[in-house]
Amino acid sequence: MTSSHSTVRVDLGDRSYDVLVGHGVANEIATQIPDNVRRIAVVTQPGVPIRLALPVEHKIFEIGNGESNKSITTVEKLCSGFADMGLTRNDLVIGVGGGMVTDVAGFAAAVFHRGVRVMHVATTLLAMVDAAIGGKTGVNLSAGKNLVGAFWQPSAVFCEMDALSTLPPEQMRGGLGELAKYHFISGDDFLSMDMQQRIARAVRIKADIVAADERESGQRALLNYGHTLGHAVEIATNFKVQHGEAVAIGLVYAAHLAEVMGRISDDRVKEHYAVVGSEYGLSTALPKGCTPDVLLPLIANDKKALDGLTFVLDSLRGLEVVPGVSEQNVREALAAMEVR
Ligand SMILES: NC(=O)c1ccc[n+]([C@@H]2O[C@H](COP(=O)([O-])OP(=O)(O)OC[C@H]3O[C@@H](n4cnc5c(N)ncnc54)[C@H](O)[C@@H]3O)[C@@H](O)[C@H]2O)c1
């Protein structure tokens, strides 16, 4: 393995774990498998380029692509397969893939035998900086995304940067949108870092927030920076603009809204354009059809909207959850955005 990998500790008492970031880190997994593990269930997808060399008996389970397969049916099939191979409570599940695999494998591990250990090998940028870290697992119902799930922390995570070379461009853009958010959550100078350092720093920020607020009752909401408008743009475009790219547009919008509300200066808004547009090459404009009349009801329906229109917004003190934002401010900030 490369000696230049980064290690980030997620500090959760006796459930603490390391996240390894770098090229070739998946090769390290064999050395991290606890001694009492006799069998391993590897959950992955057909397009995922990483195959693990494992020192104990194991079986590979491939799940289908796409959100329709992120389902209870898939979890039931996995758990039946685990039972057929004789996986016990002392054994291990390893999820190898993007956020869909880590969510599904994590949830199957959380419920099989009332909980078996799980490790993740994250192979998309989004899984590295977000989905694989923090223990949120789950599947969709027809009534909505991620409606059934569990908090189930992994015992190790490997952010395998070799996998990024095969990632389709739109997947990479989605991850960059989430990565861009971290530039504004901390005061760190992300722009001076290389990609491995940026991923490791994003993991560090998420790890610290998870350690302080594991079950998302307060600080963890800051990870939703850019997501309020982002979710509305995803729905308004019928998911043609995918999640991370919508979040990127949402970051620029949140900066405008903060400026309209007198929370930040124009320079800080320009920083958002510089990161999202110039650094990561992502769109900073609202897609055509995303008019205020289309977006406003979607923003109002956002699950974080506990008290009127709610946004995570920047300020001189850093990011804060701001409830009760007026419709007039929301419209004014939308009017400040380019439409393309
Ligand atoms: N649990 C959390 O905290 C959390 C956070 C954010 C997102 N999520 C979830 O993550 C999911 C999205 O994750 P995603 O964006 O990683 O997409 P994904 O997991 O659906 O992967 C997208 C596609 O890329 C393929 N792929 C994965 N790695 C590859 C590689 N290295 N090379 C080529 N192809 C590869 C996959 O097989 C899949 O077809 C959503 O279901 C979302 O709800 C969870």
Q: Write out 88-108 in H/E/C secondary structure.
A: CCCCEEEEEECHHHHHHHHHH
Per-residue model confidence (pLDDT) at position 61:
98
Per-residue model confidence (pLDDT) at position 2:
47
Per-residue model confidence (pLDDT) at position 210:
92
Q: Between these two residues, 180 and 300, which has the higher pLDDT value?
A: 180
pLDDT bucket at 1, cuts 50 / 70 / 90: very low
pLDDT bucket at 328, cuts 50 / 70 / 90: very high
Q: How far is CA 36 from CA 91, 92, 149, in A?
A: 7, 10, 27
Q: Summarize the confidence of residues 163-190 as an average pLDDT.
A: 95
How do residues 78-89 score in pLDDT, each as one tens digit?
A: 999 999 999 999
Provide the mean pLDDT of the chain.
Answer: 94
Q: Measured from the CA of 46, which atom of ligand 1 is nearest?
A: 37
Best probe residue, ligand 1, of 42, 61, 126, 243 (max atoms within 8 Å of C-beta)? 126
Instruction: Please determine, for residue 339, whether its predicted confidence score (pLDDT) is greater than 60.
Output: yes
Q: Summarize the confidence of residues 269-287 as an average pLDDT.
A: 98
- Examine domains 6-166 and 177-184+217-335 and report if their fold is the same: no
Q: Summarize the confidence of residues 8-29 as an average pLDDT.
A: 96
The count of other CB atoms within 10 Å of the CB of residue 281 is 11
Per-residue model confidence (pLDDT) at position 156:
98
CATH C-level class of 177-184+217-335: mainly alpha
Asked whether 103 and 54 are in contact (CB, 8 A), the reply is no
pTM of the model: 0.94
Asked whether 61 and 43 are in contact (CB, 8 A), the reply is yes
Instruction: Please tell me the least confidently modeled range out of 112-126, 215-229, 262-276.
Output: 215-229
The domain made up of 6-166 has a fold known as: Rossmann fold (3.40.50)
Instruction: Compute the Cα dihedral for 171, 177, 152, 67 and give only its sign.
Output: negative
Q: Which residues are catalytic?
A: 114, 136, 178, 206, 216, 220, 224, 227, 231, 243
296: tokens are 């406003």
What are the residue boundaries of the structural domains of the chain, listed by start? 6-166, 177-184+217-335
Q: Summarize the confidence of residues 135-152 as an average pLDDT.
A: 93
CA 207 to ligand 1 center in whole angstroms: 19
Best probe residue, ligand 1, of 10, 74, 171, 222 (max atoms within 8 Å of C-beta)? 171
As a residue count, the chain comes to: 340
% of the chain exceeding 90 in pLDDT: 91
How do residues 182-220 score in pLDDT, each as one tens digit?
A: 999 988 999 999 999 999 999 999 999 999 988 877 788
Give residues (CB < 6 A) around ligand 1: 45, 47-49, 65, 67, 70, 97-101, 103, 123-124, 126-127, 130-131, 134, 136, 146, 163, 166-167, 171, 174
* Burial status of residue 219 (CB atoms within 10 A of its CB: 0-12, 13-18, 19 or more): middle
